[in-house]
Structure 1
Amino acid sequence: MDANSPPPSPAPPAPPVFRLQGVGKRFGHQWVLREIGFEIAAGERVAIIGPSGAGKTTLFRLLCAVLPADAGQIEVFGQPCAGLRGRKLKRMRRDIGVLYQSDNLIPQLRVVHNVLMGRLGRWSLPRALISLLWPQDLPAARAALERVELADRLWAMPGELSGGQQQRVALARLLVQQPRVMLADEPVSQLDIRLGREIIELLSSIATTLGNTLLVNLHTLELLQGHFQRVLALKDGRLFWQGPPAGLNRELLRELYGTEYQALYLEESADVR
């Protein structure tokens, strides 16, 4: 490079994974989300909290384009979500992996088939159908199950597994999918606190392994510490507060959760000041 030539221009910053501006959603005449606005950066780990009925699950459905917004604008990977159709919509959904409150496994299919469901967004229809008879990409399924410590359950039926093991199979499905973003909608609400902590730790570890973005709806606030960089709190369909987990305190949580606060068992917790 010529000493007198100007230095190269820095690369433009990557767009946020999600950008929401004035987003609202209604069912009938009732608005369940109003004036929601925030950005999520690539690689960020964010927890969504709030009382029952705050709109957390509806927000996730908007983010993965299962539902359209009725007001405002949602951008995903720098593109407006509204109007996406066909291949563009399929490509966007392929890049967003979702872990549900229940594991969403198909009980009639063996573990290997459930794990390989994560490949459906990348396979043709004929290959997907063939895989139901002769599982395609067995090495990927085995590697994913080994990552979640279930390597010996490849040919098991979901009904033979415990609740925690079924949720691990769902995590293996995410590993096979290799999404850019993982949305986990209260993934530990049906597990005890020990198993819930294991699942959150696995989610965090997988996000690190894949280098992707992680958003988790959480009702168990004991699991916030050590895994998330930011918390978004929803109340009555609005963004009530956002900040680092260390910014949460008992007064804020009492105002956020109202009558649900006592059920959170925070009085004995050392994690919330």
Structure 2
Amino acid sequence: MKPFPADQAPAPVHIAGGAVAYGGTRVLDGIDLSVAAGERVAVIGPSGAGKTTLFRLIAGLARPAAGRVQTLGQDTARLSGRRLARLRREVGYLHQQDNLIPQLRVVHNVLMGRLGHWWLARALLSLLWPQELDRARAALARVELEDKLWALPDELSGGQQQRVAVARLVVQQPRLVLADEPVSALDLRLGREIIALLCDLAQRDGVTLLVNLHTLDLLQGHFDRVVALRAGRLFWQGRPEELSQHLLRELYGAEYRALHLDEMALPA
């Protein structure tokens, strides 16, 4: 198992021999992965490869069955209570669904990103009188939805709802963002917009970004590195331009044609 680097500042993500087991079965095993500060990484692989489990491991939502996981300088296996809560405040998690609360207006949903920074009394008060209103308005302006401040989620399109979720990340001010298939429910055009927003957030705010991608058309022009998982193990990693049809056929197997990966303009 590779040791953590001792002569430099810890990477935002450093996994050495990481494994996760459910019911005695390892769904991740032997993962060695480091992600540098400010790096933008796309995680790809077939269904069941362990991509979501990897994100849960990094976020401290899943405990390692073996190895060590260091997130933002913290050994996640040793965290609990307030220390774990502090870590999760600094890790923004964008799920496949936007997870907006339909009964609350956009402003309240955006300000959910501040809950980790507020005392309970202020959080409750914000439901009646939104706190840090200027912060919420500025975040919505960054995703071009400032005019939707008082709208309800069901008044928005799917792309707009996911933009609200990105604005929630902006007000959270995380150091690390994990986006788990954030555009799987959107068409390709809207997907490109959301990925561009996330990468802009990472670049402008100095945030480290990992995105679990199902649609590989969104890779080019956005990411510094691609990490590929297969059957719970690290299969390949490299720059997006190093991908090839041969590699994708080997990685995706039976899913290769179903995902139309043969239509991608890549070297054979």
Aligned partner (choices 223, 227, 230) of residue 225 of structure 2: 230
Residue 38 of structure 1 corresponds to 33
How far apart are residue 71 of structure 1 and its match?
Answer: 1.0
* Structure with bigger gyration radius: 1
| Residue pair 2:95, 2:179 contacting (<8 A) in 1 also | yes
Q: 1:72-87 alignment to 2 at 5 Å?
A: 72-87=67-82
Counterpart amino acid of residue 131 in structure 1: S
The percentage of counterpart residues that share the same residue type is 65
Match of 2:23 among 10, 23, 28: 28
Identify the residue that residue 250 of structure 2 maps to in structure 1. Answer: 255
Equivalent residue in structure 2 for 1:89, among 84, 89, 99: 84
CA contact (8 A) 1:250 1:272 kept: yes
RMSD after superposition: 1.1
1:206 aligns with 2:206: no
Paired residue secondary structure (2:261): coil
- Extract unaligned runs of 5+ from structure 1: 1-11
In the TM superposition, residue 265 of structure 1 has moved relative to its aligned partner by 1.8
Shift of 1:15: 1.3
Deviation by residue 1:145-169 (Cα, 9 ceiling, x = unmatched):
1110101100111011110000000
Amino acid at match of 2:133: L
Q: Deviations over 1:36-76 (max 9, x none)?
A: 11101110100000000000001101111111111111011
Whether the aligned pair in 1 keeps the contact of 2:245 and 2:266 (CA below 8 Å) is no
Q: Which amino acid aligns with 1:157?
A: L
Q: Conserved in 2, the CA contact under 8 Å of 1:221 and 1:264? A: no
So what's the TM-score if we normalise by structure 2?
Answer: 0.95
1:24, 1:173 → 2: CA distance?
31
Aligned residue among 161, 164, 182 for 1:187? 182
Q: Which moved more, 1:81-90 or 1:243-252?
A: 81-90
Instruction: Flag as ranges the 4+ runs of structure 1 deviating above 6 A.
Output: none
Matches within 5 A, 1:1-273: 13-271=8-266, 273=268
Which consecutive residues of structure 2, in runs of 5 or more, have no partner in the other structure?
Answer: 1-6
What is the identity, as a one-letter code, of the residue corresponding to 1:258?
A: G
Q: Deviations over 1:197-250 (max 9, x none)?
A: 000001001111211100000010010011111111000000000111111100
CA contact (8 A) 1:222 1:271 kept: no
Give per-residue Cα distances to partners, 1:102-147, cap 9 Å, x unaligned. Answer: 0010111110000000000100000000000100000000000111
